[in-house]
Amino acid sequence: MTAAASARAEAAPAPSAPGTLLDVQGLKTWFPVMGGVFRKTMGHVKAVNDVSLSMGKGEVLSVVGESGCGKSTLGFSILGLTPPTEGRLSLAGHPIDIRSPSAWNPFRKDFQIIFQDPYTSLNPRHTVFEMIAEPMRVHGVCASRDLPEMVAGLLRKVGLSPDYMHRFPHAFSGGQRQRIGIARAIGLRPKLIVCDEVVAALDVSVQAQIIQLLLDLKSELGLSLLFISHDLSLVKAISDRVLVMYLGKIVEEAHASDLFVQPRHPYTAALLESIPTLDRGRRPKLLGGEIPSPVNLPPGCAFAGRCPRVQDRCRKETPVLFPADRSSAACFYPVGLPPVP
């Protein structure tokens, strides 16, 4: 083992398992809050605050939480679009120097993103062909003369007619635009796609189409999906594993098959209770209060102020992710289990 390799091994106490596509350890993304006459840094918005996760090939991992919990920032930070402040990140087994914005460049081809809003994420002055072909040209996916054929194939793959190739985005509906966004991402044959609220702006009937398309492409191309969403019902339908975020931290990590049967963190339980269903006899249980400001977080558990199971200990000590049966939960008093000693 070379010195550099051994140093790297020491720096990473939890080496990622073989086949790990994405490994994130202690990732923090803080935004400074300026104030006062001299615009001094008064504090930080801790959008992502010490998050660790890893993803394997072909996996669908969902990150859920309410607005402002940091789920989108997490996705952006992993791709270097919002460079993280601190932490370790390795893509396809290669550690990334998070201080260097160019460190992500060799991995752009393998790690792609589909954005939330199909109305602002497509350039209105570019035709569909230009938008899909540009990244393929930049990354040298194929010879220029083959591009029209490749783009036509991609459009067919996402369910659009290649005849639309030379139209501009304004000619398309929301669902069709999102298909163009998907074609642009899969054109580079990526290994992982970050899907940031990709169906939030779409109608229910079209939403299901886009989800089906993503899952079909996933099996066909062996993709991994990091699916960022606020919609727990949707997450239930598509995920293998789920991370629940609250105020920049992961509060629960579980397999989808466990999370929706037996949530362990009181916040997850409260989220599930709040969702209306077709069951007319059921009344949602209300979670009081609102998410506190992520600038000045109180000591202890960030959820303590709204938690129905809160105890004195929760206001003094900060819980980390403890194992909770088959899941993990950042809670001293997990639902349905004895307290953490």
Binding site for another protein (CB under 8 A): 66-67, 173, 175-176, 203-209, 211-212, 215, 230-234, 236-239, 256-257, 260-263, 266, 269-280, 282-287, 290, 335-336
Q: Smallest distance from the beta carbon of 65 to another protein, in angstroms? A: 9
Q: Smallest distance from the beta carbon of 7 to another protein, in angstroms? A: 43
Q: Smallest distance from the beta carbon of 210 to another protein, in angstroms? A: 8
Q: Smallest distance from the beta carbon of 246 to another protein, in angstroms? A: 11
Q: Which two tokens stand for residue 253?
A: 């990590």
CB distance 61 to 240 below 8 Å: yes
Q: How far is CA 181 from CA 46, 118, 292, 294, in A?
A: 30, 7, 34, 32
CB distance 268 to 324 below 8 Å: no
Sign of CA pseudo-dihedral 119, 120, 125, 129: negative
**Percent composition of the chain: helix, strand, coil (DSSP 3-state, to 5):** 35, 25, 40
CB distance 84 to 29 below 8 Å: yes
Amino acid at 143: A
What's the maximum distance between 2 C-alpha atoms anywhere in the chain?
Answer: 68
CB distance 120 to 131 below 8 Å: no
Q: Which is nearer to another protein, 179 or 191 (CB)?
A: 179
Q: Which is nearer to another protein, 103 or 291 (CB)?
A: 291
Chain-centre distance for alpha carbon 37:
37
Q: Which is nearer to another protein, 132 or 270 (CB)?
A: 270
Q: Which is nearer to another protein, 71 or 184 (CB)?
A: 71
Q: Smallest distance from the beta carbon of 203 to another protein, in angstroms? A: 4
Tokens 């990590």 — which residue?
253
Whole-number Å distance between alpha carbons of 29 and 51: 9
Q: Which is nearer to another protein, 165 or 202 (CB)?
A: 202
- Residue 146 DSSP symbol: G
Q: Which is nearer to another protein, 109 or 177 (CB)?
A: 177
Q: Smallest distance from the beta carbon of 341 to another protein, in angstroms? A: 21
Q: Where are the alpha helices (DSSP H) in the chain?
A: 3-11, 71-78, 128-138, 147-157, 174-186, 204-221, 232-238, 256-259, 266-274, 312-316
Q: Which is nearer to another protein, 188 or 202 (CB)?
A: 202
Q: Smallest distance from the beta carbon of 304 to another protein, in angstroms? A: 16
Q: Smallest distance from the beta carbon of 235 to another protein, in angstroms? A: 8
For residue 261, what are the contacts with CB-CB under 8 A and spacing of at least 6? none
Backbone torsions φ then ψ of 17, nearest 5 degrees = -65, 150
Q: Which is nearer to another protein, 104 or 303 (CB)?
A: 303
